[in-house]
């Protein structure tokens, strides 16, 4: 039987780093679901057609981690038909053996509401902006504005808004090192039976 870990939260909260570490630790498959939306946004053209035709090689593009791709992802993720085209792919992936870790914004609420463990990873706006600015070599003040715009858009969308699942464990990484955050997430997964 597979074990699914659903990790949600806003950009630059540490959810991707934690998800990759959990997948390595437990030998689980990992899917950064944001890459699906980034790839759809980066393809351009009709986003619904792009989502329906998404191929694995589309997830390997070098430009998917850019700020522009992140903004495009947030815009196309608000389109119900795009979300519907990508839901089944994510749900099949979530039942990979022996387990899977998926990170995104609606994993615990929409994609995998039956996940054995749900984490909602967050951090203060200022810390998230600093992290993303260091990652991208960008202006921290500009990144802060963009993160807040994206958070507002992701939380306000009609379909699958970003919010913690009712049974999600909150992991605030504002004052945690990467090692501390990963250790806490591993402990939560072990307590849940991973």
Q: Which residues are annotated as a binding site?
A: 9-17
SS3 content of the chain, % helix, strand, coil (to 5): 60, 15, 30
Residues 6 or more apart whose Cβ sits within 8 Å of residue 183:
none
Task: Determine how β-strand 29-32 pairs with β-strand 3-8.
Answer: unpaired
Binding residues for ATP: 9-17
Neighbours of 156 (CB within 10 A): 10
- Residue whose structure tokens are 């921290």: 140
| Rounded Cα–Cα distance for residues 143 and 56 (Å) | 29
Cβ(170)–Cβ(164) below 8 Å: yes
Task: Determine how β-strand 99-104 pairs with β-strand 117-122.
Answer: unpaired
Q: Which of 153, 124, 129 is nearest to 139 (CA)?
A: 129
Sign of CA dihedral 24, 30, 33, 36: positive
Pair of tokens at residue 62: 């070098």
């Amino acid at each position: 039987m597979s074990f699914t870990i659903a990790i949600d939260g806003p950009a630059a909260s540490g959810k991707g780093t934690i998800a990759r570490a959990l997948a390595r630790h437990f030998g689980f498959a990992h899917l950064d679901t944001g890459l699906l939306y980034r790839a759809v946004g980066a393809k351009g053209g009709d986003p619904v057609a792009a989502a329906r035709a998404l191929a694995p090689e589309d997830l390997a593009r070098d430009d998917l981690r850019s700020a522009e791709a992140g903004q495009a992802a947030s815009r196309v993720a608000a389109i119900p038909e795009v979300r519907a085209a990508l839901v089944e792919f994510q749900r099949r992936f979530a039942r990979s053996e022996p387990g899977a870790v998926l990170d995104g914004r609606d994993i615990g609420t929409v994609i995998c509401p039956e996940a054995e463990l749900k984490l909602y990873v967050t951090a203060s706006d200022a810390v998230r902006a600093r992290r993303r600015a260091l990652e991208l070599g960008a202006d921290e003040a500009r990144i802060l504005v963009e993160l807040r715009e994206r958070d507002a858009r992701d939380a306000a969308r009609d379909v699958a808004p970003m919010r913690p699942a009712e049974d999600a464990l909150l992991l605030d990484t504002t004052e945690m090192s990467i090692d501390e955050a990963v250790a806490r997430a591993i402990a939560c997964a072990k307590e849940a039976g991973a």
